[in-house]
Amino acid sequence: MNLVVLVKQVPETTNIKINPETNTLIREGVSSIVNPFDMYALEQALKIQDEHGGKVTCISMGPPHAEAALREMLAVGANEAILLSDKAFAGSDTLATSYTLAKAIMKLDKFDLIICGKQAIDGDTAQVGPGVAEHLDIPHITYVNKVEEITNNQIRVHRMTEEGYDVILSSLPALITVVKEIGEPRMPSIKGTLRARKTKIPMWTAKDIEANERMLGLSGSPTQVIRIFSPEARSGGEIIQGESASEMADNLLTRLMASHII
Amino acid sequence: MNYYLTEEQKIIKELSAKIADEKIAPQAAELDEAEKFPWDLIKVLAESDLFAVWVPEEYGGLGGGIFEQCLVVEELSRACAGVAVSYAASALGGFPILMFGTDKQKQKFMPDIASGSRLAAFALTESDAGSDAGNIRTTATHNKNCYVLNGTKQWITNGGEADIYTVIATLDPKKGPRGMAAFIVEKGTPGFSFGKTEKKMGIRSSSTRELIFKDCEIPAENLLDREGKGFLIAMRTLDKTRPGVAAQAVGIAQGALDKASEYAITRVQFGKRIGEFQAIEHMLADMATQIEAARALTYSVARMIDSGERHISKASAMAKLFASDVAMKVTCDAVQIFGGYGYMRDYPVEKMMRDAKITQIYEGTNQIQRSIIGSEVIKGALRRK
């Protein structure tokens, strides 16, 4: 199996500050980490590798220091890593990002399965994974919480839904995005960390991936951010009290009828 | 303090700290309460190569030494001394094989110990042979191609969980220390079983258990070194591993200081954070200074041992003695800073105080350490006379 894991380096805090003038993230003084959901994507890739063998390649698009995120993936067990970095990529929205990543994946010899985290914790769009699949014209399955089996060039997974899960069978190659229910990511090892330090991470530019420049970076990004803001916190709600369950149910019913909800 | 670690040592320390903070700390209270052996965490340590740090590369290790081992033990102990000792005890069981085993014995056992796929343990103590280790009563009888073991070992760390045991037994009780020998005994050997599991004050997630030998036949090739060398093997092993106990003590103390200082900046009394009261500030200052002194001594001794120095008993005893006394003092003070909350099991410092106590007792009580140090001091004075 040739597995590809897409990785994003994100600011460490979940309490992100936004510059109100430019509507962009304030990155100064905030250390960077691997997007936590991408660690679950790597864990799923390594589990498949444990069972079926093959190679795990991690790809990240970002500034040169995003290499640190890729080294972390190598320390945990990924075999190879590629960094996509070019001034031409700057300012990409999800469309341009997924186009760029897809072009890079096309340059790989072969791929059977692409695994992404369900979303990045900074942008929270959850669009890049499916976008990559569309650019590659392959099926994608989002919110996967279990890979049941991979046989005869097919993959059967559970897709988490609000009520339970769907069982989905797809042909390969395909792209899946995973949720954290997939299983605790493993820790890096000392040998892996030492190996990661020595592994050469090639840096690919727009030219290397033979991309159409008009589809990259700002010029390839139709999205315009008008305003970013923190939503107002929801107020407390009301807890219906009562001596017993049936009394509580009665009180609830009375309140709902009084509010003309039922 | 900057101890000028190499790149590899930094990786070992950072990875151990990451595992301690992310995997061990969240489980520490629960493991203590349940007295449950932390197999899932042992697996994490194994997969991260931490069991390999002190093992030479030719036996599947990373080629480090006591110092690297101490870095791991210290970081793990910050989060839970019970998990840390389960890790460290495997090295205690493995060191006699590494130091005194033949190449064949090392090839057979060390790779598994280095990978963490099998845990090791060291069995010296008996009910009537604690500090007086020369008084052991577990016997070994040479019989054709095997030795037959009979007797009971007590308070063996990793007992029942480990697969590989280094066992000290006597071939002739009349000869005392000179009649002893060390053997490698594998779990599952007929006649080798496990007795009582102890209920302890601290390090409660670790296993402390009796080993029972009843006409237990072990192959003669499992003898370490020669007959008569058992006591020496035990003492040389303990000389080497005492800095590990010191590192454990430093880690427990650091964990307690971290918690106490965090509490001092959040707890408000009389309208002020308690850390702003000089009484608390000075306690924190003493704790931090004592810990740094203990760490500096521990690291120095560990590095000295790794450099191949032969006479290590005194320095090794000093590190263990000093660091464990610091751990006891610092954890008591941490409980004091937390006040009533510190005495409650909902808060982490009372566990650290319970855990710290054992470091003054095992691998030689601190009274024994003082005897070792004192006799070396006297010997030195006599030589100069």
| Residue B324, domain member (yes or no) | yes
pLDDT score recorded for residue A14: 60
pLDDT grade, residue A235 (50/70/90)?
A: confident
More confident residue, B89 or A27: B89
Interchain CB distance below 8 Å, A193 and B11: yes
Exactly one of B75, B126, B210, B363 is catalytic; which is it? Answer: B363
The pLDDT of residue A13 is above 70: no
Pull the structure tokens for residue A131. 């976008």
The CATH classification number of A2-220 equals: 3.40.50.620
Q: How much is the mean pLDDT over chain A?
A: 91
> What are the extents of the domains in chain A?
2-220, 232-262
Interchain CB distance below 8 Å, B50 and A193: no
Query: Strands A154-160, A140-151: parallel, antiparallel or unpaired by DSSP?
Result: antiparallel
Provide mean pLDDT across the span B111-137: 96
Pull the structure tokens for residue A184. 């605790």
Angle at A128 between CA A126 and CA A133, to 5 degrees: 115
Answer yes or no: do B128 and B111 share one domain.
Answer: no
Q: What is the dihedral of CA B192, B195, B200, B202, to 10 degrees?
A: 20
Which residues have C-beta within 8 Å of that of residue A85, sequence separation ≥ 6?
Answer: A61, A62, A63, A64, A66, A203, A204, A205
Number of folded domains in chain B?
Answer: 3
Best B7, B21, B48, B54 member to test A by mutation, with max A CBs in 10 Å, is B48
Report chain B residues whose CB lies below 8 A from the CB of A192: 49
| Residue B267, domain member (yes or no) | yes
**Residues 194-233, chain A: which have Cβ within 8 Å of B?**
194, 197
| Residue B135, domain member (yes or no) | yes
- Asked if B120 and B113 touch (Cβ cutoff 8 Å), the reply is yes
Answer yes or no: do B330 and B195 share one domain.
Answer: no
Provide mean pLDDT across the span A95-112: 94
| Residue B140, domain member (yes or no) | yes
| CA A87 vs CA A103, A221, B97, B265: distances in Å | 16, 14, 58, 45
The pLDDT of residue A25 is above 70: no
pLDDT score recorded for residue B284: 98
The rounded distance, in Å, linking the Cα atoms of B383 and B385 is: 5
Provide mean pLDDT across the span B303-311: 96
CATH number, domain at B203? 2.40.110.10
ipTM for the predicted complex: 0.86
| pTM as predicted | 0.87
B18 to chain A, any CB pair closer than 8 A? The answer is yes
pLDDT score recorded for residue A29: 72
Least confident among A85-94, A220-229, B124-133, B329-338:
A220-229
Size of interface A-B (CB pairs under 8 A): 36
Identity of the residue numbered A247: E
Least confident among A220-234, B240-254, B317-331:
A220-234
Answer yes or no: do B215 and B313 share one domain.
Answer: no
pLDDT score recorded for residue A12: 81
Answer yes or no: do B105 and B195 share one domain.
Answer: no
Provide mean pLDDT across the span B283-307: 98
* Percent residues over pLDDT 70 in chain B: 100
pLDDT grade, residue A19 (50/70/90)?
A: confident
The rounded distance, in Å, linking the Cα atoms of B356 and B332 is: 9
Is B227 an annotated catalytic residue? no
Best B5, B7, B11, B75 member to test A by mutation, with max A CBs in 10 Å, is B11
- Asked if B56 and B63 touch (Cβ cutoff 8 Å), the reply is yes
Provide mean pLDDT across the span B149-153: 98
| CA A67 vs CA A5, A32, A42, A247: distances in Å | 14, 11, 16, 60
The closest alpha carbon to B263, from B285, B245, B246, B284, belongs to B284
Q: How much is the mean pLDDT over chain B?
A: 97
Helices (H), chain B: 7-19, 25-34, 39-47, 66-79, 81-100, 103-115, 230-264, 278-306, 313-338, 340-343, 349-359, 366-384
CATH number, domain at B364? 1.20.140.10
Identity of the residue numbered A17: K
pLDDT grade, residue A225 (50/70/90)?
A: confident
Per residue in A127-136, pLDDT (tens digit) is 999 999 999 9
User: Minimal Cα distance from B68: which residue of A?
Assistant: A190
| CA A40 vs CA A138, A190, B22: distances in Å | 22, 20, 15
pLDDT score recorded for residue B240: 96
Interchain CB distance below 8 Å, A187 and B18: yes
Pull the structure tokens for residue A2. 């040739």
The rounded distance, in Å, linking the Cα atoms of A136 and A103 is: 8
Per residue in A138-151, pLDDT (tens digit) is 999 999 999 999 99
Per residue in B259-272, pLDDT (tens digit) is 999 999 999 999 99
pLDDT grade, residue A230 (50/70/90)?
A: confident
